[in-house]
Amino acid sequence: MDIQNQVRESSGVLESLQSPGGLFLAALAQGTGYNKAWLRDNIYGAMGLEVTNPKKAVLTMHRIFDILRKHEYKIDWAIKEKPVHAYQYIHARYNPETLEEYWDEWGNKQNDAVGALLFKTADLIRKGRRVIRDEGDMRILRKLVFYLQSIRYWQDKDNGMWEESEEMHASSVGACLAGLKAISKYVHVPKELIEKGQEALECLLPCESETKEVDLALLSLIYPYNIVTPAQRKAILKNVEKNLVRKRGLIRYPGDKYYNRKGEAEWTMGFPWLAIIYKMLGDRRKSEYYMRKTRFSMNGSGHLPELYFAGSKEHNDNTPLGWAQSLYLVALAEGMSG
């Protein structure tokens, strides 16, 4: 199949996860809880959909702003006083139709999602997309800067990309730092917010956290954020490829217990993520290698599931995973451009 057909096919898979209102479900699976809209997944979904349908990608961003406007009172509370409990933070998951929060405990402190929103919003503004509709959206943007200031993101222990134990995560600090740097071209960002984030990130790298020396989440600091030095990037890639790459995906980190059957589960999205990064770095050979690995990891329906059980051909029910399909679309687009 030629690359244009691959793009169309993968775009169709991704769009099948988009609700009429514009938000993406995490996956089509029934009974696993993935029929919800995660902020982070939706931002990554917009990155992929932008390849073939920029208007729909912007619609996704508009719905995220609608979520935050609906819950603006909560942002105001957090700005007034630093949150103490997880429920006081901007939540990670919402009903894709009503935009209501899911209140059950789910590792809801995910600061990287806020950073991702600022980063992608700035990226779309730069490209001339009408991602900001009115003063209400601009107000939310400004408040998100104050929100990150109030929670002191540079020293705030959050649940991170994998929604697990509260720690200082390099991927969370880096996302917030990248978002603030990008959006500072359009709204005021106090200089100290960037300086403190940079200092915190330097202290954490090349590790993800105190308990995780190497972690798949660190790839986000290279793509999409490009927030690390060449030396840091080299160290991250070396550690990730040496310790995490498996036959049908990458494990998230050594010792991961999620869907662990005689070993850590293999996440398919790691392959297109690495393909994107190596294409950015001008290493066509390695980029194509990881694209082949990505296609090998597709199931019989041509979908990228969330993960395969360790060393097996069996994947879990969360398929297709929107996040993985989106990264594959971006990787395909990078291939077309080169």
Q: What is the pLDDT of residue 241?
A: 98
What pLDDT, in 10s, does the model give residues 299-312?
A: 999 899 999 999 99
CA distance 279 to 289: 11
pLDDT value of position 4 = 83
**Residue 157 resides in a domain:** yes
Contact predicate 236/219, CB 8 Å:
yes
130 in a domain, yes or no? yes
- pLDDT 10s digits, 182-205: 999 999 999 999 999 999 999 999
Residue range of the domain that includes 87: 36-212
**Is residue 158 assigned to a domain?**
yes
**Predicted TM-score (pTM) of this structure:** 0.96
The stretch 10-20 carries a mean pLDDT of: 91
Is 194 within 8 Å of 249 (Cβ atoms)?
no
Helix H or strand E encompassing 93: strand 93-94
Query: How confident is the model at residue 338, as a pLDDT?
Result: 56
Q: By three-state DSSP, how is residue 115 classified? A: helix
Flag whether 43 is in a domain: yes
Q: Is the pLDDT of residue 30 over 90?
A: no
For residue 105, pLDDT over 90 is answered with no
φ, ψ (nearest 5 deg) of residue 61: -65, -40
DSSP-derived secondary structure for 204-271: HTTSSSSS-SS-GGGGGGTTT---S-HHHHHHHHHHHHHHTB-SSSB-SSTT--TT-SSS--EETTHH
Confidence class for position 10, pLDDT limits 50, 70, 90: confident
Higher pLDDT, 338 or 97: 97
> At residue 229, does pLDDT exceed 70?
yes
Question: In this model, does residue 224 exceed pLDDT 80?
Answer: yes
Helices 170-183 and 135-151, axial angle in degrees (round to 10): 140
Give the pLDDT mean for 156-179: 96
Instruction: Report which of residues 88 and 65 the model is more confident about.
Output: 65
List, in sequence order, every residue forming a beta bridge with 250; answer none if it has no partner: 245, 267
Report the pLDDT value the prediction gives residue 1, as an integer from 0 to 100: 66
Q: Is residue 160 part of a domain?
A: yes
Q: Give me the pLDDT at residue 110, please.
A: 95
The pLDDT of residue 336: 62
- How many domains is the chain partitioned into structurally? 1
Please check the confidence at residue 237 and state whether its pLDDT lies above 60. Answer: yes
pLDDT reported for residue 337: 60
Domain contains 134:
yes
Q: Give mean pLDDT, residues 281-302.
A: 95
| Residue 106 pLDDT > 80 | no
The reply to whether 69 falls in a domain is: yes
